[in-house]
Amino acid sequence: LTKTCLILSRETSNYSRCARTDKGVSALGQVVGLRVRSKLLTGLGVVPAGGTGEDLDLRDKQWWLARAEGEAHTGCSIEDVNDELPYLQVLNAVLPPEIRATAWCPVEKGFNARFACTGRSYRYFFSRGDLDIPAMKEAASYLIGEHDFRNFCKTDTSKPNQTTNRRIIEFDVAPLDDDHEGG
C-alpha cells in the first residue's frame, strides 16, 4: 500500500481486517478497512487535504442522513466510484496474481472491519483418508447454536463487556465430488 502511495504507513491508515487466517490458509471474501488517499473533497469519511478529520463523526452522520429516503445506506454511490481514484486497478497491479481486490466502498470514520462484521463463513478441506463422515457430522451438530467460545477468542481486556459468545447457524460435513480438485 505504501508502494502505491495510497497510504503513508500502516500505523496511520486505521487498518483493520475482518478475520485472521493461518499460514497457508486462503481467505476468500476478506474485508479490510483502511484510510487511503482520495481525490474527492467531500463525502463519507473524506478528510480534506491538511484536515485533521476531527469533524468526521458529525460530517459522516450528516452525509448518511442526507441520502435519499429509502436508499440503501451502504456508504457508496455510483458517483463515488466513478469520481474516485481507480483503487482496484492500483492495488491489483502490485498484488500477486493469487490475491485480488474485488470491491471498495467509503466508510465512516470509526469503521472497523473486524467489529463491524455480522457473520462469517468457513470451509475446511481435508484429504480423504479414513474419515468417519457420520461421526464428524454428529460432532459438528453439537456446535450448532449459541455457545461461549472464550478459549478460541482473542479478548481485549480494555473492553470488559466484550462477549465471547458466538452463534453457529449451520455446520455440515460432506465429501467432495470425485471430479473436484483441491477446493
Active site residues: 22
CA atoms within 13 A on the CB side of 21: 17
Please name the residue that has the C-alpha cell 482520495: 38
Longest dimension (CA), the chain: 63
Q: Is 27 exposed, middle or buried (0-12, 13-18, 19+ CB in 10 A)?
A: middle
Sequence-distant (≥ 6) Cβ neighbours of residue 183 within 8 angstroms: 123, 125, 176
Please name the residue that has the C-alpha cell 454511490: 77
